[in-house]
Chains A and B, each alone.
Chain A
Amino acid sequence: MREITYRQALNEALMEEMEKDQDVFLLGEDIAIYGGAYGVTADLWKKYGDRRVLDTPISENAIVGVGLGAALTGMRPVAEIMYIDFIGLCLEQLNNQVAKIRYMFGGKCTVPLTIRTEGGAGRTLGAHHSQSLESWLIHIPGIKVVMPSTPYDAKGLLKSSIREDNPVVFIEHKMLYNTKGKVPEEEYIIPIGVADIKREGSDVTLVTYSRMLLVCMEAAARLEKEGISTEIVDLRTLLPLDTETVVRSVKKTSRMVIVEEDCKTGGTGAEISAQIMENAFDWLDAPIVRVAGEDVPMPKSPVLEKLAIPDAERVYRAVSKLAKET
């Protein structure tokens, strides 16, 4: 099978859905002529023109609001918020309007809006361009939150998100755009809300998503050499959470480590942990462990930035320690 990058996979998903459905259009900052800050929308403006690929002013709240208005009246917009760090500028529209409007209107409308954004650290961009804010978003009933880790998942999930009649926040990771993976030429989609076992194992369950999957895979290879078998659950969707798949894995291994890049306090891992306590406590042989981002604004210096987020070494240490606990 051919290998393409995460960026190309996303670009293909957008192009295929634009071909398939005339109501799909893109709006966002620097997405047309420039092709997106990370190049995801490259060449789409050349192909589809101003009517379907719109460069917007730097007006995040209006980008989301305008996307909502268009979605309510027959279009299927894909809005781009360049960095998730800018989500604060549009949380009013996202949280109060996009997420709630269908419910508030008694189900008498649909909101087929996809909001693409990207997050995460790794490029030493400092505190305003490196955050992982997904835990803010999973606290909002009415939206779905998708965070793919591989090119294959990115393509299949973006296509599903665009076809979805509910609003989806689709969070990419800046350090994944150049990663490569197998992606078939043939069309496929991946359902939202379904986690994926990226590696089967029997001793410890690692629950993760987005770029931290790569960190977990690296740690798992090292642990295997030492005779510790890890099972890696890639959540892929954070809202709704596929608790069932996580529970099934925990019942198998009886030990769980959650690996997340966002700040530990009130983070996504806290929610997963609580879900497992509610649903699989009796199967646990040891306390749940979180390997998470530090509770600090992302520092600029590469030395400090590395310390602020989990790496394979930290995951390795956490898992080996947990595997030895009785």
Chain B
Amino acid sequence: MMSAGIDRELASRLLRQMMEIRQFEDKIMELLAKNIAEGGSHLYAGMEAVATGVVSMLRPDDYITSTHRGHGHAIAKDGDLKALMAEILGKKTGVCKGKGGSLHLADVSKGNLGANGIVAGSLGIATGAGLSMKIRNTGRIVVCFFGDGATNNGIFFECLNMASLWKLPVVYVCENNLYGMSVSVKRASAVEDLSKKALAFDMPSETVDGQDVMAVRQTSGRWIEHARNGKGPSFIVANTYRYYGHSRSDTRTYRTREEEKFWRERDPIKLFSARMIGEGVFTPQEVSEVEEFVTGEMEEAVDYAIKSPLPEPDELYTDLYV
């Protein structure tokens, strides 16, 4: 972990956001079990430090693209908890008016160009947004989140090549949670050290501990500045772990309980809280207060989402064309 001192307000923001993501996901699991939430949902619990850390280094007008496991990114990019929760329940008040759902959470007005139901589906969008930022000389940059699985898909190679060729202001952040659904990186990728994949495009790459929000901030901050200064794209591999299975029907037969235990001991929220308490930034009491505050927020969000109306039938054909 980094040893530099940390601003109390920033620390509090990071802690709160990671707790928001965690509790949001835990709530959804609960709602799925009660059949209040329908359909699938890929949960980000365990990976909070990556989205929180990276997005905390961005400007509000920078862009991100997200993945099928996108709730964490949406919350980190200033997402409204109520509108996100309502969207996951398919409600009219959802951030996409109930037409997108968990797999398509997006809020372009906040620079979130969307989660994506297709693995590697957002690489092109991120790269194109980067091209647009460069052509128009906006000084804005793009962070493209994707998982380890996406690095085996054709468009990953097409986009990294183009971005490096044209020196686009895009930071590609690979959230390596060790499994693409059930298949481990070892069994899917000829190169286990995913950061090496950037070498083919002469793109700088770095691997970071994705459970350590301060390390994520430090590494991503450096590459975000690199992009902002016109020095081109980079590739970050954040090693992390998802606590839940790939989706709700997943019984996790492909990984051991020991492995899960190992990662849970490296829980990003616990690690950060312990460190902040150790450094005297927070008291244990204050950490609990943040947690309670987030619990309250989440109850409000769920309540809002459940009470929200469903879309009207005449919404079926709206928003298709301009």
* Interface residue ranges, A against B (CB under 8 Å): 25, 51-52, 54, 56-57, 59, 61-62, 64-75, 77, 92-93, 96-97, 101-110, 141-142, 144, 164-166
Contacts and interface: CB of A to CB of B under 8 A. Distances in A.
A115 to B, nearest CB: 13
Contacts of B321: 102, 142, 144, 166
A74 B132 contact: yes
B161 A57 contact: yes
A61 B100 CA distance: 23
Interface residues of B, number: 47
Contact of B96 (A51, A62, A105): A105
Most chain B beta carbons < 10 A, residue from A56, A61, A73: A73
Given A62-B162, A141-B320, A73 B155 contact: no
A51 B132 CA distance: 10
Given A97-B121, A104-B104, A166-B321, A61 B154 contact: yes
A103 B320 contact: yes
Given A57-B165, A66-B162, A96-B121, A75 B132 contact: yes
Interface of B: 63, 65, 94-100, 104, 106-109, 113-114, 116-118, 121-133, 135-136, 154-155, 158-159, 161-162, 165-166, 318-322
Given A65-B159, A93-B124, A108 B96 contact: yes
Most chain B beta carbons < 10 A, residue from A106, A108, A144, A166: A106
Nearest to A97: B121
Contacts of A166: 321-322
Given A57-B158, A105-B114, A65 B100 contact: no
B125 A69 contact: yes
A257 to B, nearest CB: 31
Contacts of B126: 69
Contact of B107 (A51, A93, A108, A110): A108
A165 B322 contact: yes
Given A57-B162, A61-B158, A105 B136 contact: no
Given A96-B118, A105-B106, A106-B96, A59 B129 contact: no
B155 A93 contact: yes
Given A75-B136, A105-B106, A70 B158 contact: no
Nearest to B159: A62
A68 B122 CA distance: 10
Given A70-B131, A73-B132, A73-B133, A64 B320 contact: no
